[in-house]
Amino acid sequence: MTLQHMNASPAETSGIGGEQRIFGFEADFAQDLRCIPMVVRFKLDRCGIKLSLRQWSRLGPENRSMLLTSRCDAPNEVDGYRLRLTSLVESSASGPIVWLEPDCRPIWTDEQNVPPQVIEQAARSGIDPPSNSQWKRLCTIERFALVKLARSRHDNENFLPAMREFKLSR
């Protein structure tokens, strides 16, 4: 995959700007950055990189903190983030980088319609899904988080806390 090809997709999607927070629902495991916070997962998706928890942990606290706070919106920011991350992973000898095809139209960028995965996960959690108007008022990183939590291969234990945090459920 060439860098030019990888750069095409992120420019077409909305970024998160200065939104670099760790959500309340992930604070118990992300505050010390031992797990990959949603904001970093967002940036990894933008760069087309799949990072394992083992690779993340081998980067060290200073590098993990830098990756959390670094911008990754504009094409040059995405390029810089990808290059820094690639260099860090290679120097940590934590295994090969797994490249992913960036999604040109991720479902969380549709501000008008709640994605089916979120609706289905809300039903499995026994709550009402967000309405389209509630979905529209969420910021990009909140929509991303709900989609990721709805898609999770885990037991989705953070979906309901995220819905509560985003004031979409009681």
Residue 14 counted as domain residue: yes
Using a cut of 0.75, tell me whether the model's pTM lies above it.
Answer: yes
First-to-last alpha carbon distance for the chain, in angstroms, is 45
Q: Judging by beta carbons within 10 Å of its beta carbon (0-12, 13-18, 19+), is residue 134 exposed, middle or buried?
A: middle
Flag whether 170 is in a domain: no
Render pLDDT for 56-106 as a digit per residue (tens, 0 to 9).
Answer: 999 999 999 999 999 999 999 999 999 999 999 999 877 899 999 888 889
Give 143: exposed, middle or buried? Use CB within 10 Å, 0-12, 13-18, 19+: buried
Give the total number of structural domains in the chain. 2
Same domain for 21 and 91, yes or no, is: yes
Q: Which domain holds residue 17?
A: 3-99
15 phi and psi angles, rounded to 5 deg? -95, -165
Query: In the listed set 53, 71, 99, which residue is the last one of a domain according to the structure?
Result: 99
**Are residues 43 and 90 part of one domain?**
yes
Q: Mark which of 54, 69, 99 sits at the end of a domain.
A: 99
Residue 68 lies in a domain: yes
Looking at the fold, whether 85 and 121 belong to one and the same domain comes out as no
Q: Quote the tokens at residue 56.
A: 């993340």
- The pLDDT assigned to 155 comes to 62
Q: Residue 119 pLDDT more than 80?
A: yes
